[in-house]
């Protein structure tokens, strides 16, 4: 197995203690940082798909992301500028009134591993704070709003509509969370919806490259 293939396999398997060493070995053998990174992005894609189909679970996804992060640390000093986040910046948060963050964090990890820079606003985020974050950060291409409570669905709507009415451009809005349906996403005016973290990353990429 080539070193790159090994990196890929170990990220998928969540070998947090091995990936950094393997990435270094791959570099030493002459592999390019960009290619190693792409291999890790691909393995997170596989992880996301397996999560979507129920083949793996939250812990497996968390340790795969952690393994990838260890590899990225080794690559960072070698990567020109921000090429590790070539898809732009994603502002993410759980909407006002809602404190759940497990799903949002998984989505954030997957979107990050797909190639976005993440600005995580945390939980209980008022609509205006999403707008401010779009203004305050460079190259925001995506805003991701998560909501887990049926009672905060109106807050989700408000977040999307405030963003859309802000006059700011250059970004798409994606929504999701257990009570959110594709129909609801359309109704509130979001550009995209995803049912889980794996497909959120796929959708995110699709939205900003369209």
Partner 1 sequence: MLTKRQNLMETMKGGKPDRFVNQYEFMQMIMSVPITRVRPAIGEEKVNEWGVTFRWPEGQLGGFPVHDEEHILIKDIENWKDYVKAPSVKRPEEDWVPAIEAANAVDRNDQFVTCFVAPGLFEQTHHFMRMENALTAFYEYPDEMHELIDYLVEYELTYAKELIDHIHPDCIFHHDDWGGQISTFLSPKMFEEFFLEPYKKIYGYYKANGVELIVHHSDSYAATLVPYMIEMGIDIWQGVMTSNHTPELIKKYGGKITFMGDLDSGVIDFPAWNSEIIAKEVERACKTCGKLYFIPCLTQGLGISSFPGVYEETSAAIDRMSKELF
Question: Which residues are at the interface with partner 1 (CB under 8 A)?
Answer: 14, 16, 54, 56-60, 62-63, 66, 97, 99, 102-103, 105, 124, 149-151, 178-179, 195-196
> Closest CB to partner 1 among 102 and 168?
102
- Are the C-beta atoms of residues 200 and 176 closer than 8 Å to each other? yes
Helix (H), strand (E) at residue 143: strand 140-146
Which one of ligand B1M, partner 1, none is in contact with 54 (Cβ closer than 5 to 8 A by kind)? partner 1
Q: Which of 159, 176, 205, 207 binds ligand B1M (CB under 6 A)?
A: 176
| Nearest residue (CB) to ligand B1M, 70 versus 172 | 172
Read off the tokens for 7: 């990196």
The one of ligand B1M, partner 1, none whose footprint includes residue 174, by CB under 5 to 8 A per kind, is ligand B1M
CB of 73 to ligand B1M, least distance (A): 25
DSSP symbols for the chain: --HHHHHHHHHHTT-TTTHHHHHHHHHHTT--HHHHHHHHHHHHHHHHHHHHTTSS-HHHHHHHHHHHHHHHHHHGGGS-TTGGGTT-EEEEEEBTT----HHHHHHHHHHHHHT-EEEE--SSB-HHHHHHHHHHSTTEEEEEEE---GGGHHHHHHHHHHHHHT---S-EEEEE-TT--HHHHHHHT-SEE-SSHHHHHHHHHHHHH-
Query: Which of 16/199 has CB closer to ligand B1M?
Result: 199
CB of 21 to partner 1, least distance (A): 17
From ligand B1M, partner 1, none, interface partner of 104 (C-beta below 5 to 8 A by class): ligand B1M
Tokens describing residue 126 = 């008022």
Smaller CB separation from ligand B1M, 33 or 110? 110
Closer to partner 1 at the Cβ: 51 or 130? 51
Beta-bridge mates of residue 119: 91
Q: Does 175 bind ligand B1M (CB under 6 A)?
A: yes
Q: Which CB, 52 or 141, lies closer to partner 1?
A: 52
Write out the residues near ligand B1M by the rule CB under 6 A.
58, 98-104, 106-107, 144-146, 148-151, 174-179, 194, 196-197, 200
């Amino acid at each position: 197995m080539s070193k790159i293939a090994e990196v890929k396999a170990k990220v998928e398997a969540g070998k947090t203690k091995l990936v950094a060493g393997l990435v270094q070995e791959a570099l030493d053998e002459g592999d390019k940082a960009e290619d190693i990174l792409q291999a890790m992005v691909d393995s997170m894609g596989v992880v996301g798909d397996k999560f979507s189909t129920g083949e793996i679970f939250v812990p497996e996804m968390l340790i795969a992301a952690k393994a990838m992060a260890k590899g990225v640390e080794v690559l960072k000093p070698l990567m020109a500028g921000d090429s590790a986040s070539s898809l732009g910046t994603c502002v993410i948060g759980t909407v006002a009134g809602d404190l759940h963050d497990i799903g949002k964090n998984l989505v954030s990890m997957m979107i990050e591993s797909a190639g976005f820079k993440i600005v995580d606003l945390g939980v209980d985020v008022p609509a205006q704070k999403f707008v401010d974050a779009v203004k305050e950060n460079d190259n925001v291409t995506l805003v991701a709003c998560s909501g887990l409570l049926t009672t905060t669905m109106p807050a989700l709507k408000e977040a999307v509509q405030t963003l859309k009415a802000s006059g700011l451009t250059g970004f798409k809005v994606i929504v999701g969370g257990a009570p959110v349906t594709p129909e609801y996403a359309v109704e509130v005016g979001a550009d995209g919806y995803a049912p889980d973290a794996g497909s959120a990353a796929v959708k995110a990429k699709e939205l900003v490259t369209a």
